[in-house]
C-alpha cells in the first residue's frame, strides 16, 4: 500500500492551496484600499496633528501577577508599579515612583480571573495615591480596564472567586465616590484617567458595519468628534467587503501611523459592566496607532459625549502617541514601560519566596517559633 509522509502531504497541500490563499488575500487588500478613503472622508479615521513642543506630567501604572506551584498547591504574587514622568520642552525626566504588592497562597479555582481582579485593585490603589499627591499629573495611565466586564463575574458557588470580585467592585465604587470630582471631565483642570488596552477591535468594527445614515446606526459614535453625515452614503453597501476581511486586518488597513478612530460611546457594553452606578456616568473609547507598523491600542476614558470634543481627543491621542514605545513587538507608553521593567523581578521573587517557604517548613521553624517558651509558661 502506497503511503505519503506528513512532509509530502503538506507539500502537496501547499501547492494546491497557495493560489487560492494568495487570491483571497489580494482581494482583501484591494477591498481595504478602496474602503479606507471612505472611512477617512466620513471622519471615522482621523490623522492626529503633530505638535512641536511638549510640556506634560504623566503617571504610568503597570500591573502583573505570577503563579508558582508549591507544596501541592499554588503561590501567587501580584504587584503594580507607578512611574511619574515630567516632560518640559521635550526633555524627559523621572520624578517619582510607587508600588503595591500582594503575596499569598491560592487554590486552582479561576486563578487568572481572580488575579485580573487583584491587578485592577492595585491599579486603582496607585491612582488614588497619585491623586493625593501635592503635584498632579496631567495624565494617569493604567493597563487594566476602568470597570469590570461581566465575563469576569463569577458563579456564586465559586466562593473565593466571588469574594475577590466583591472586594474589587467595592474598591472601584469607593474610588469613584471619593475621587470623581478630582478627575477630568468633572474637574476641567483635573488629571485624565486613561485605560490603555491592546487590540479589542470589536467595537469599532461593529460600528463600521452599521448603517451610519440612520440615527440608530450612529448612536455609538461621538458626533461631537466630527462625523460627516454627508459622507456616510459612501459607506453604504460595504457589508460584503467587510465580512470577508478579518477584524485585525480591517483596522490595520484603515489605521495608519499617527492616526486614531473616531471616539465611540461604549454604551453597548454598559449593561455588562460593574459597578453599575459608576459605569452609568459614561465611558468612551478610541483606537490609535503611533507608527505605521506599530501595535494598535484602545484608550478608554470616563465621561459622556458632552464632555469631549475633537480637539480634546486629538490632544489626548497625541500625548499617547509621543509616549508610545515598541518593546518586544508590543506598544506601551514610556512611563508604563518603565513600570513594567520593575515588575520583571516579580517572577524571581516568587520563586525565592517558594524556596524559602519550603525550607522553613522543612526545618519546622514556624512551629518552633510558636511553641517557644510554652513549657516554661506551664511550669510557672
Question: Same domain for 279 and 320?
Answer: yes
Of residues 114, 120, 132, the one with CA closest to residue 80: 120
- Give the range of the structural domain holding residue 109, as residue numbers without chain letter: 56-192+336-356
pLDDT at residue number 204:
67
Give me the number of domains the chain comprises.
Answer: 2
Please report whether residue 158 resides in a domain. Answer: yes
Please report whether residue 16 resides in a domain. Answer: no
Residue 96: strand pairing partners: 84
- Per-residue model confidence as pLDDT tens digits over 162-184: 999 999 999 999 999 999 999 99
Please report whether residue 188 resides in a domain. Answer: yes
Please report whether residue 222 resides in a domain. Answer: yes
Question: Same domain for 156 and 113?
Answer: yes
Question: Same domain for 171 and 229?
Answer: no
Question: Same domain for 275 and 229?
Answer: yes
CA torsion 197-200-205-206 (nearest 10°) is -110
Question: Same domain for 152 and 185?
Answer: yes
Question: Same domain for 180 and 152?
Answer: yes
Please report whether residue 76 resides in a domain. Answer: yes
Please report whether residue 363 resides in a domain. Answer: no
Please report whether residue 378 resides in a domain. Answer: no
Which residues does 117 contact at the CB level (< 8 Å), separation at least 6?
148, 152, 164, 165, 167, 168
The string of DSSP codes covering 137-157 is: PSEEEESS-SSEEGGGPPPTT
pLDDT at residue number 244:
62
Global pTM reads 0.85
Question: Same domain for 110 and 188?
Answer: yes
Which residues does 40 contact at the CB level (< 8 Å), separation at least 6?
46, 254
Bigger pLDDT: 227 or 84? 84
pLDDT at residue number 189:
93
Please report whether residue 244 resides in a domain. Answer: yes
Question: Same domain for 185 and 201?
Answer: no
Tell me the three cell numbers of residue 247.
Answer: 477584524
- Per-residue model confidence as pLDDT tens digits over 91-104: 999 999 999 999 88
Question: Same domain for 133 and 79?
Answer: yes
Question: Same domain for 271 and 151?
Answer: no
Residue 64: strand pairing partners: 79
Question: Exposed/middle/buried for 28, CB within 10 Å: 0-12, 13-18, 19+?
Answer: middle
Residue 101: strand pairing partners: 79
Give yes or no for residue 285 having a pLDDT over 60: yes
Residue 58: strand pairing partners: 85, 139
Question: Same domain for 236 and 260?
Answer: yes
Of residues 249, 268, 255, 260, the one with CA closest to residue 299: 260
Beta strands (DSSP E) in the chain are: 45-47, 56-70, 73-88, 91-106, 139-142, 148-149, 192-198, 259-261, 264-265, 273-274, 283-289, 297-302, 324-327, 330-333
Band of pLDDT at residue 328, cut at 50, 70 and 90: low
Q: How far apart are CA 179 and CA 181, in angstroms?
A: 5
What is the CATH number for 63? 3.30.420
DSSP state of 223: G
Question: Same domain for 158 and 178?
Answer: yes
Q: How far apart are CA 62 and CA 327, in angstroms?
A: 14
Amino acid at each position: 500500500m502506497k503511503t505519503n509522509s506528513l512532509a509530502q502531504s503538506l507539500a502537496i497541500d501547499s501547492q494546491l492551496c497557495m493560489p487560492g490563499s494568495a487570491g483571497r488575500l489580494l482581494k482583501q487588500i484591494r477591498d481595504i484600499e478602496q474602503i479606507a478613503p471612505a472611512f477617512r472622508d466620513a471622519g471615522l479615521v482621523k490623522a492626529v496633528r503633530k505638535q512641536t513642543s511638549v510640556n506634560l506630567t504623566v503617571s504610568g501604572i503597570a500591573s502583573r501577577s505570577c503563579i508558582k506551584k508549591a507544596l501541592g498547591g499554588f503561590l501567587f504574587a501580584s504587584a503594580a508599579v507607578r512611574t511619574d514622568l515630567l516632560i518640559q520642552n521635550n526633555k524627559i525626566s523621572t520624578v517619582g515612583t510607587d508600588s503595591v504588592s500582594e503575596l499569598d497562597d491560592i487554590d486552582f479555582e479561576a486563578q487568572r480571573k481572580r488575579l485580573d481582579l487583584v491587578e485592577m485593585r492595585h491599579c486603582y490603589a496607585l491612582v488614588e495615591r497619585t491623586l493625593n499627591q501635592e503635584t498632579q499629573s496631567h495624565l494617569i495611565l493604567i493597563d487594566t480596564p476602568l470597570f469590570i466586564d461581566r465575563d469576569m463575574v463569577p458563579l456564586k458557588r465559586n466562593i473565593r472567586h466571588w469574594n475577590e470580585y466583591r472586594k474589587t467592585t467595592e474598591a472601584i465604587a469607593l474610588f469613584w465616590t471619593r475621587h470623581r470630582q478630582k478627575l477630568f471631565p468633572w474637574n476641567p483642570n483635573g488629571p485624565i484617567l486613561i485605560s490603555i488596552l491592546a487590540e479589542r477591535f470589536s467595537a469599532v468594527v461593529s460600528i463600521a458595519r452599521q448603517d451610519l445614515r440612520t440615527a440608530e446606526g450612529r448612536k455609538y459614535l461621538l458626533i461631537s468628534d466630527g462625523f460627516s453625515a454627508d459622507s456616510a452614503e459612501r459607506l453604504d453597501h460595504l457589508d460584503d467587503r467587510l465580512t470577508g476581511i478579518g477584524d485585525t486586518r480591517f483596522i490595520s488597513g484603515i489605521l495608519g501611523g499617527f492616526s486614531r478612530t473616531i471616539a465611540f460611546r461604549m454604551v453597548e457594553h454598559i449593561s455588562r459592566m460593574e459597578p453599575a452606578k459608576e459605569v452609568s456616568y459614561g465611558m468612551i473609547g478610541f483606537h490609535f496607532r503611533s507608527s505605521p507598523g506599530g501595535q494598535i491600542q484602545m484608550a478608554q476614558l470616563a465621561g459622556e459625549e458632552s464632555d469631549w470634543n475633537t480637539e480634546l481627543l486629538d490632544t489626548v491621542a497625541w500625548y499617547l502617541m509621543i509616549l508610545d514605545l515598541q518593546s518586544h513587538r508590543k506598544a506601551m507608553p514610556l512611563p508604563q514601560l518603565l513600570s513594567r521593567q520593575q515588575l520583571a523581578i516579580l517572577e524571581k521573587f516568587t520563586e525565592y519566596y517558594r524556596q524559602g517557604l519550603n525550607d522553613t517548613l522543612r526545618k519546622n521553624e514556624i512551629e518552633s517559633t510558636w511553641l517557644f517558651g510554652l513549657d516554661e509558661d506551664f511550669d510557672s
